[in-house]
Amino acid sequence: MISQSELKYSRVIKKAEELFLKLGYKATSMDQIAEEAGVSKMTIYKYFPSKEELFIQIILSIMNRYFNDMKNEIDKIEGTLNRIDFLLNFGMEHSKQYSMALYKDIFDNPYIYEKLMEEKKRMARIIFEDIVREGVNKGEIRNIDEAFIANILIALIKGIDKEIFDDINSNKELEDFTEKLYDFLKYGLLGR
């Protein structure tokens, strides 16, 4: 049987995720989360020492769901090009679900950004190395060190996150940029 404490925790997580995704980090207050979850602010602070830590927990949870969904799907796909296509399209579709305010809030807070980048790098390394290894083994891409390529792709993504997002002001601009980046990555790697 689920305890009252577990029910409250679940409501806090659910409502905090809804509010953060809708309004972004800065525009969401702990008072709003408490009100929506039907708990006191003190109850939230019992579970999370700060709004920052609650936000990080929410985003890490979303990232883990995203990674697991992507990994489950990508493992069913044959061929390096097909896997890269899926990976890039999955990433692009997933990025459309969130507001620019949310992305900007992440990039504007160095502590949050670094915490999330650590996990993003770990996940990306697993996916990129698998795809490159499969491509090399099947002769679909040239023989190259998959760890090296994964590190380069991760560095590219990290650099783009920091530099480009400052100049992107709408979801449409983000979508256009992402399509161009994915086209470059896909065809730059495969030379087609």
pLDDT (tens digit per residue) in 1-13:
889 989 999 999 9
**What is the structure's pLDDT at 83?**
86
Burial of 18 (0-12, 13-18, 19+ CB in 10 A): middle
State whether the Cα torsion 145-147-150-156 is positive or negative: negative
Is 35 inside any structural domain?
A: yes
Which pTM does this prediction carry? 0.75
pLDDT digits 0-9 by tens, 36-77: 999 999 999 999 999 999 999 999 999 899 889 888 988 899
Does the residue 7 lie in any domain? yes
Q: How confident is the model at residue 192 (pLDDT cuts 50, 70, 90)?
A: low
List the CATH number of the domain containing 66.
Answer: 1.10.357.10
Residue 145: which residues within 8 A CB-CB, separation 6 or more? none
Co-location of 71 and 10 in the same domain: no
Residue 29 domain-assigned?
A: yes
State how many domains the chain has: 2
Residues 78 and 19 in one domain: no
User: CA nearest 92: which of 180, 1, 2?
Assistant: 180
CA gap 60, 148 in Å, rounded: 25
| Residue-level pLDDT at 165 | 61
Q: Round to whole Å and give the CA distance between 38 and 171.
A: 32
Residues 98 and 185 both lie in one domain:
yes
* Distance in Å from the first CA to the final CA of the chain: 57
Whether residue 54 lies inside any domain: the answer is no
* Tokens linked to 119: 């996990």
Which of 29, 48, 67 corresponds to the end of one domain?
48
Question: What band does 19 get if pLDDT is binned at 50, 70 and 90?
Answer: very high
Q: Taking 80 as the threshold, does the pLDDT of residue 187 lie above it?
A: no
Kindly report the CATH number assigned to the domain that includes residue 27.
1.10.10.60
82 pLDDT more than 80? yes
Q: Are both 107 and 32 inside the same structural domain?
A: no
Domain of residue 20: give its range.
1-48
Same domain as 96, residue 29: no
Whether the pLDDT of residue 97 is over 80: the answer is no
**Whether the Cβ atoms of residue 146 and residue 129 lie closer than 8 Å to each other:** yes
Q: Which helix (H) or strand (E) holds 121?
A: helix 110-137
